[in-house]
Structure 1
Amino acid sequence: MTSLPHSPPRPSPRSFWLPLLLTGLGSVFGANAEEGLRIERLQRCGDLLEREHQDFCLGAAGLAEGEFEVLLNERELPPAQVHREGSGLRLGLQASRLRSGPLRLRQGGRESNPVWLSLNDSQVLAAKPDEVAKNMDGLTTYVDLVSVLIEEDHAGLDEAKRLADKYAAKVVGAIPALNLYQLRLPAKTLVERDALVLRLGSEVSVDAVVVEESAPEKGEEGEAGEKPEKPEKPSGDEWAANRFMDAVNYYRRRIPAKPSPIQTTPLRIGVIERDVDFDSADFADYLGPCRPERAGTCLYARDAAKPDTHGSTVAGILAAKWDAGGNTGFLSGLDGAGPGFEVIVERNSDAGITANVAASVNLVEDGVRVLNWSWGIHRVGAKNVEGDEVDSLVRSGIAMGGYEELLEEFFLWLRREHPDVVVVNSAGNGSSFSGQDEYRLPSSFITEQLLVVGGHQRSERDGVAVDDPAYAVKRETSNIDMRVDITASACTRASTLKPGERGAVHCGTSYATPMVTGIVAAMLSINPKLQPEQLRMLLRRSAMTIGEEYDFEPVQGDDLTAPIIPSERNYDLKNKDIGRSARLDMQKALDLAVQSRDRVR
């Protein structure tokens, strides 16, 4: 047990006399005892390049005076490795003696939320508010932090240090797997930074320079058009368009079926988001220890301040507990029949796209099989289907060039080192084109390991069967084109604090994406030998249709996805689905995954 000095509680409304009455009764009866024990922040600090001795800075709310425990993989860290720094903790860990895993706090009868602590090497710094400026496009950009992609025939760290010495810079972060190193430049203005970027980019050993454009600290990661809206249809009706409940029922009945039960495989899912509100009724049950082989679904995340955040809504579609109001998680609906799913919500730091990639590399190295990327960016000047400029989540040409090279290196690394990992990415909400790299990243990449998801919503037509193409329609803001693999329901309900309370409706391709992530994870739990190209094939073979038939002509505003082709319908040239867009059918996808066990060995 570790004992630390009293940590001041977060302020909350009180009457005048109550604090006076409680003064002197000790923190056990004070505000810390009333509020939950929550981990709000955990990230590498100190020297990010140090591999053996790694420091982590932890920010917690509700940590009272007296003894407490810090548990990593359910083993208490020795008190000598836990140090108080102001209102937070600093953990000093020997990486070679430990392994990545869930970390949590315990004090008295209170349990914190578990967060994922990765001991891998990919760590980058975010800029502070005084380290950013507005560029000529009016976008927030980092002044003195940039990243260099080193050519693969060079020793990355050695070359990064050489460049740092040459330009009076310092190496402060890295994604070693991609040969990327983050430099702090001796620049005070954007003019000075841009001059150094040009000189760095001209170095023979440098493949590209990544300039980060995002807000300092907590920046944007959501999609345009995803603010709460008045529901046009109940969320259950929205999800019926993908046979959500049919899929849950099928899995629960088919997997343990006595005549021929199916042996399933545990799975880890990575969700690149910031945090989740564990005060919400959807997630309160995840406080404390969680063993996937017993509990079914485990959720690891930092705690959010409110329940309707982007991360809570995305993670909730995968892991929210049932019958609590708010959201309903697909994977948590499989508890009791499933093998155990670990949902890891992680974002490394607030350093924008670079941090998203760093977190993804760490998670893949920690055994994640499916990554959920409910984010993306458009290039300044990108046009929507109406010919108007996209005005949200845009980045300058210089930033997009660096991001494109960074993401290309990531997918090349993934193909080379982890060919069985699949990334599920939102198509975007700019009413634009998802597959053109001058318009959008990362959805424009052509690789079997990237599934791109568009969004649909329930049509106003009643009395049509769920498999009728008219049952759902393209969501007006959803990006489209041949690069989109499949569409899923774009609308869901946000989490709430009170059990049984109905959350606001949130819509966007960010929320269609975890629908596909969830079903892909379930399919892999049934047949872990399925490869990314086979998963895409099964999703499209099982898909229902949406939209008009467009006979493989150039993409128009009504065309949602790549058209269904004869090989996806048993080469039946007269099949009515051919030429239409693909709409997720979760139940049939699971059925095909079961059938694939006899074909994929």
Structure 2
Amino acid sequence: MKRCLILSLWLCSLGAQAAADSLRIKQLQRCGELLGEGGQQWCLRAEGLGGGLPTVWLGGAKLPPASIEWQDDRLTLKLTHQARGSAPLWLEDGGGSSNPVWLTSQRSHVVAAASDEVAKNMDGLTTYVDLVSLLIEEKHDGLREARRIADKFGARVVGAIPPLNVYQLRLPVNDLEQRDAMILRMGSEVSVDAVIIEESAPERGEEGSGRDPGDIDQGEEWAANRFMDALYYYQRRIAASRIPVQPVRVGVIEREVDFDAPGFSDYRGGCNHAQTCLYARDGNRPSSHGTHVAGIIAAQDQGFLPGLGKQSPGFEVIVERNSDAGITANIAASVNLVEDGVRVLNWSWGIHRIGARDVKGERVDSLVRSGLAMSGYEELLEEFFLWLRAEHPDVVVVNSAGNGASWSGADEYRLPSSFITEQLLVVGGHQRSDNTVAVEDPQHVRKRHSSNIDMRVDVSAAACIHPVAGALAHCGTSYATPLVTATVAAMLSINPALTPQQLRMLLRRSALTLGTEQDFEAMDAEDLTAPILPSERGGQLNHPDLGRSARLDMQRALDLAVQSRERVR
């Protein structure tokens, strides 16, 4: 009888632990009045809640129960102006803690269309019917002007990206014909620089095609970028040199992370800054795009930043999307993250314009948009990078080159990688070749068949991962990009004074090579990246690397970051 009682208590304990570990924050976004200057209202949906009101932590403080409304799996948080502040938020209930998410006090928030608020346009693309955004000329008071235009056309201002003078309007229209007529009239307003329309249902990730075998060896792929060598170097060199490394905050523009996936199960509650901390909404698929991208940076079992070990100064990785409002939401989230102190932004996304051609002359069908949408996105992205240069010149954006086997720098057909700015690093993808040669040999890897190419690509990195048992390999520039992001974050922890221009220079100087061609052809040549120049090899005109494409060398990049710090001592 006693044994049965003990067994029963043990089973109950296991059940309680399982219930406590099932607490997950699935959604968190601004709701109510988005344009108010006072308090904020946030709507949260969770799984695994018990029968009572959970404890809600914002940073190191508990939210008072009076500021929380609770119904089933949903909480409404009402934050006063005094209580506002960007910080991680998590729940505690039944002895367990949820995944932490990032709650921003910044002002940029846009609204996503519901399923009955979208339609198919002439190109067969999903587009928003009654939600558009206005980019107001900077000399105008954006909110006042947006409200004036809204009143004139019977619309309402429902969202905003104030630092960019962008305001989202809900139009009094029922179909695309009415919408297009109204945006033509709004676009003719003297104060309106551009009208931005959204062409996106929830987007698939920018992964490549599935033409690769399922037996990809991830360790071998990453060895081509000296992944483990870089970890070993950081752990030993930082300790030996006693460099006072600094914490770095990283932003990842993705929807969610599956906290049941290997490598994420221990990310619970607050961040003690001892090691890497991850803030994200919880997803249901370990094979999701966001889980893969965030995992390369921050998974505890194989992510680069946690692998830095006890020498790590503490990294905060914020996975954020703002809402499902397409490219506009990506930019709104990016603005908030930058204002919250992020130094490195990971953009594993991009779009092609309808009509783009790949290197074989075939039409690109990867993440295409119409010319009308592309023109608005181009204006929005241009405004973002102008703001970044003026207000946050130390921030660097790391962007995937794309998987259309096309040209990444074709500004009429590819965004955002085609932008020419020091604060944008563009990453192509390579894959392990069949050649049995040393890592240093250019033939150690081959160009990833679907990777976009040309002079605008700054560096390439391993594009293939094998994340979960039984799953096929995932390949694409989306997964090459976070390898560069993690490297840049580690470089900044060593020398926070490095500028985006210097980071690019060090990545290129430290790069390994790939490819056989040694030439300086026209911009439409099929080079994977911009060819390595004599200035990137110490002025040696006969150096064998010249003219070849640049391949990320994570260990050497960290070494140059250390040297850059030692030179200024």
Report the TM-score, using the length of structure 1 for normalisation: 0.90
Shift of 1:50: 1.2
Match of 2:386 among 412, 418, 421: 412
Shift of 1:332: 0.8
Aligned residue number for residue 576 of structure 1: 544
Are the counterparts in 2 of residues 529 and 600 from structure 1 also a CA contact under 8 Å? Answer: no
Are the counterparts in 1 of residues 518 and 546 from structure 2 also a CA contact under 8 Å? Answer: no
Aligned residue number for residue 3 of structure 2: none
Map 1:12-411 → 2, pairs under 5 A: 33=19, 36-215=22-201, 219-225=202-208, 229-257=212-240, 260-292=241-273, 294=274, 296-322=275-301, 328-411=302-385
Map 1:414-563 → 2, pairs under 5 A: 414-462=388-436, 464-494=437-467, 496=468, 501=469, 503-555=471-523, 558-563=526-531
Are the counterparts in 2 of residues 95 and 119 from structure 1 also a CA contact under 8 Å? Answer: no
> Counterparts of 1:151 and 1:416 in 2: how far apart (Å)?
16
Are the counterparts in 2 of residues 456 and 472 from structure 1 also a CA contact under 8 Å? Answer: yes
Unpaired runs of at least 5, structure 2: 1-11
4+ runs of 1 displaced by more than 6 Å? 28-32
Shift of 1:392: 1.7
Change (3 A) 1:454 1:53: same
AA aligned to 2:299 is A
AA aligned to 1:561 is T
AA aligned to 1:179 is N
Are the counterparts in 1 of residues 53 and 70 from structure 2 also a CA contact under 8 Å? Answer: no
What secondary structure does 2:135 align onto? strand
> Counterparts of 1:341 and 1:31 in 2: how far apart (Å)?
29
> Counterparts of 2:33 and 2:228 in 1: how far apart (Å)?
48
Shift of 1:32: 8.9
Shift of 1:520: 0.2
Are the counterparts in 2 of residues 385 and 557 from structure 1 also a CA contact under 8 Å? Answer: no
Aligned residue number for residue 7 of structure 2: none
AA aligned to 2:556 is K
> Counterparts of 2:414 and 2:334 in 1: how far apart (Å)?
19
> Counterparts of 2:157 and 2:270 in 1: how far apart (Å)?
37
AA aligned to 1:70 is V
AA aligned to 2:203 is E
Partner deviation per Cα, 1:494-530 (whole Å, 9 max, x = no partner)? 2x4xxxx465421100000000000000000000000
Unpaired runs of at least 5, structure 1: 1-25, 323-327
Aligned residue number for residue 9 of structure 2: none
Are the counterparts in 1 of residues 30 and 41 from structure 2 also a CA contact under 8 Å? Answer: yes
Shift of 1:436: 1.0
Are the counterparts in 2 of residues 443 and 452 from structure 1 also a CA contact under 8 Å? Answer: yes
Change (3 A) 1:265 1:32: closer
Shift of 1:75: 1.1
Shift of 1:493: 2.1
What secondary structure does 1:577 align onto? coil
Change (3 A) 1:600 1:404: farther
What secondary structure does 1:66 align onto? coil
Shift of 1:66: 2.3
AA aligned to 2:563 is Q
What secondary structure does 1:58 align onto? strand
What secondary structure does 1:256 align onto? helix
> Counterparts of 1:95 and 1:244 in 2: how far apart (Å)?
45
Shift of 1:231: 3.3
> Counterparts of 1:249 and 1:529 in 2: how far apart (Å)?
23
Are the counterparts in 1 of residues 217 and 466 from structure 2 also a CA contact under 8 Å? Answer: no
> Counterparts of 2:217 and 2:286 in 1: how far apart (Å)?
20
Q: Percent identity?
A: 66
> Counterparts of 1:68 and 1:34 in 2: how far apart (Å)?
12
Are the counterparts in 2 of residues 225 and 429 from structure 1 also a CA contact under 8 Å? Answer: yes
Are the counterparts in 2 of residues 548 and 558 from structure 1 also a CA contact under 8 Å? Answer: no
Partner deviation per Cα, 1:130-166 (whole Å, 9 max, x = no partner)? 0000000000000000000000010000000000000
Change (3 A) 1:532 1:29: closer
Change (3 A) 1:380 1:256: same
Aligned residue number for residue 567 of structure 2: 599
> Counterparts of 1:361 and 1:34 in 2: how far apart (Å)?
35
What secondary structure does 1:160 align onto? helix
Are the counterparts in 1 of residues 20 and 97 from structure 2 also a CA contact under 8 Å? Answer: no
> Counterparts of 2:472 and 2:266 in 1: how far apart (Å)?
21
Change (3 A) 1:381 1:523: same
Change (3 A) 1:167 1:600: farther
Shift of 1:385: 0.3
Partner deviation per Cα, 1:526-562 (whole Å, 9 max, x = no partner)? 0000000000000000001111234211245641000
Aligned residue number for residue 325 of structure 1: none
What secondary structure does 1:409 align onto? helix
Q: Give the RMSD, CA atoms, in angstroms.
A: 1.8
Are the counterparts in 1 of residues 173 and 179 from structure 2 also a CA contact under 8 Å? Answer: yes
**Higher mean displacement: 206-215 or 223-232:** 223-232
Partner deviation per Cα, 1:392-444 (whole Å, 9 max, x = no partner)? 20000000000000000000000000000000000000000000111100000
Are the counterparts in 2 of residues 74 and 103 from structure 1 also a CA contact under 8 Å? Answer: no
Change (3 A) 1:160 1:198: same
Are the counterparts in 2 of residues 566 and 572 from structure 1 also a CA contact under 8 Å? Answer: yes
Change (3 A) 1:67 1:211: closer
AA aligned to 1:278 is F
> Counterparts of 2:149 and 2:79 in 1: how far apart (Å)?
30
Are the counterparts in 1 of residues 402 and 428 from structure 2 also a CA contact under 8 Å? Answer: yes
Change (3 A) 1:35 1:529: closer
Change (3 A) 1:230 1:88: same
Report the TM-score, using the length of structure 2 for normalisation: 0.95
Shift of 1:600: 4.9
> Counterparts of 1:97 and 1:111 in 2: how far apart (Å)?
22
What secondary structure does 1:511 align onto? helix
Shift of 1:31: 12
Are the counterparts in 2 of residues 434 and 444 from structure 1 also a CA contact under 8 Å? Answer: yes
> Counterparts of 2:524 and 2:433 in 1: how far apart (Å)?
20
AA aligned to 1:347 is R
Change (3 A) 1:54 1:67: closer
**Higher mean displacement: 569-578 or 83-92:** 83-92
What secondary structure does 1:209 align onto? strand
Shift of 1:280: 1.4
Are the counterparts in 1 of residues 216 and 464 from structure 2 also a CA contact under 8 Å? Answer: no
Change (3 A) 1:110 1:310: same
How many residues align? The count is 558
Partner deviation per Cα, 1:441-499 (whole Å, 9 max, x = no partner)? 0000000000000000000111x1101100001000000000000000001122x4xxx
